[in-house]
Amino acid sequence: MHSNGSASFFTGATPFADAYNAAVDGDTIYLPGGTFAVSGYMNKRIAIYGTGHHPDSSSVMGETIITGNVYLDTGAAKSRFEGIKFSDGISYKNIADSVVIKRCYLTSIHFGGKASVGTQIIENVIVGSIVGTGSVNSVIANNIIKGGYNVVGNFANQAWIRNNIIVGEGYLASGYMERYVINEITDCLFDNNIIFNESTRINNVLSSSVSNNTFKNNVFNANPDLSLNTWENNYFDVVSSTVFTNYTGLVFGYAEDFHLVDPATYLGTTGDEVGIYGGFTPAKVGMIPSNPHFQLKSIAPATDENGALQIQIQVEAQND
């Protein structure tokens, strides 16, 4: 834990909980690879950095895993979570403004009707859903979001949803209930996203409650109803298997490669490619967190004839 220019180290059975309990607003906690449990609600303005979750970037230090559902209380405003694999999701217990969730792995993010302003959800893997009920001026950018139906839903109040890969399954359920990939979104901007419905009912991508939004330069494998929203320069009826270098469909896999086969074919509003590697915050390959990161560790099993032990360590940092 970094606090007021000094560092404290925590070990034992509950190091994360102990560090969090000792922290005050403005502190930073760096977690190593390992599994750590959440203890109660998070109600402090703290930055928490892990080692990452992608196999390519966490092979030296291991994944940082936080178990249990994380609940944000009001005091967690302006907190930051980066480079962490959450075994469950993040939910809002009360209003917590200006939270940043970046380069994490989660099952869900639920605002729960709490009118939190200015949340930034950037470069994450979300294998479930984002439910934005009550959120205001959220930025959802350069994420991989894969789930069933209602993968992205319940946003209003000028959310900016850009450069994401959104894959879901819209279908006709039993009882003739229609399911959609994107549901209940109004007054938001969608630009430069790749939105696929991996279902035989392919046009169940946007429900009729997705209205009064603006869609610019998005790629669809469907042909949605254009009557309820404003549309500019979108791409329709694209065959999903032809877009990415390696794509497995509805279920996320780390072996997937979301670089476009032909980036010049699908240009976004910023003049570069749509999807996670374009836009204002292009995704980092390997989803490496922004703190200095161990890339290589090689330690010889024994000393040589002169008693020297060969050690090679490589650490890299990046601007963001």
What digits encode the pLDDT tens for the residues 24-38?
999 999 999 999 998
**Could you tell me if residue 311 is inside a domain?**
no
pLDDT at 320: 78
The residue ranking higher by pLDDT, 285 or 279, is: 279
Within a domain: 111: yes
Structural domain count of the chain: 1
Listed in sequence order, the DSSP H helices in the chain are 15-22
Cβ–Cβ < 8 Å for 47, 29? yes
Q: What's the confidence (pLDDT) of residue 265? A: 96
d(CA 227, CA 231): 9
In a domain? residue 178: yes
Residue 151's domain comprises 2-293
Which three-class secondary structure state does DSSP give residue 209?
Answer: coil
> How far is 262 from 201, CA to CA, in rounded Å?
27
Q: Does residue 92 contact residue 72 with C-beta atoms inside 8 Å?
A: yes
With a pLDDT cut of 70, the percent of the chain lying above it is 100
The CATH number given to whatever domain includes residue 154 is 2.160.20
Would you place residue 319 in the very low, low, confident or very high pLDDT band (cuts 50, 70, 90)? confident
The one-letter amino acid at 262: D
Q: What mean pLDDT value characterizes the chain?
A: 94
93-126 pLDDT per residue, tens: 999 999 999 999 999 999 988 889 999 999 999 9
pLDDT tier at 57, thresholds 50, 70, 90: confident
Contacts of 160 by beta carbon, 8 Å cutoff, 6+ apart: 137, 138, 139, 140, 141, 188, 189
With tokens 């469909």, the residue in question is 249
Question: What's the rounded mean pLDDT across residues 157-170?
Answer: 95
Single-letter code of the amino acid located at 82: E
Asked whether residue 140 carries a pLDDT value surpassing 90, the answer given is: yes
Q: Are 261 and 246 in contact (CB under 8 A)?
A: no
- DSSP letter, residue 283: P
Distance, in Å, from the CA atom of 212 to the CA atom of 242, rounded to the nearest integer, reads 30
Q: With respect to residue 320, please indicate whether it lies within any of the assigned structural domains.
A: no
pLDDT value at residue 18: 94
Compute φ and ψ for 213, nearest 5 degrees. Answer: -105, 165
Q: Is the pLDDT of residue 310 over 90?
A: yes
Residue 314 domain flag = no
160-162 β-sheet, strand order: 6-7, 2-3, 28-30, 47-49, 80-82, 100-102, 120-122, 139-141, 160-162, 189-191, 214-216, 230-232
Q: Could you tell me the pLDDT band of residue 1, with boundaries at 50, 70 and 90?
A: very high
Q: Is the pLDDT of residue 73 over 80?
A: yes
Asked if residue 210 is part of any domain, the answer here is yes
Asked if residue 34 belongs to a domain, the reply is yes
Q: What is the mean pLDDT of residues 204-231?
A: 96
Residue 45 has pLDDT above 90, yes or no: yes
Alpha-carbon gap, residue 250 to 183, rounded angstroms: 18
Does any domain span residue 153? yes
pLDDT tens readout for residues 197-214: 999 999 999 999 999 999
Q: With the C-alpha atoms ordered 183, 259, 101, 249, is the resulting torsion angle positive or negative?
A: positive
The predicted pLDDT at position 143 comes to 98
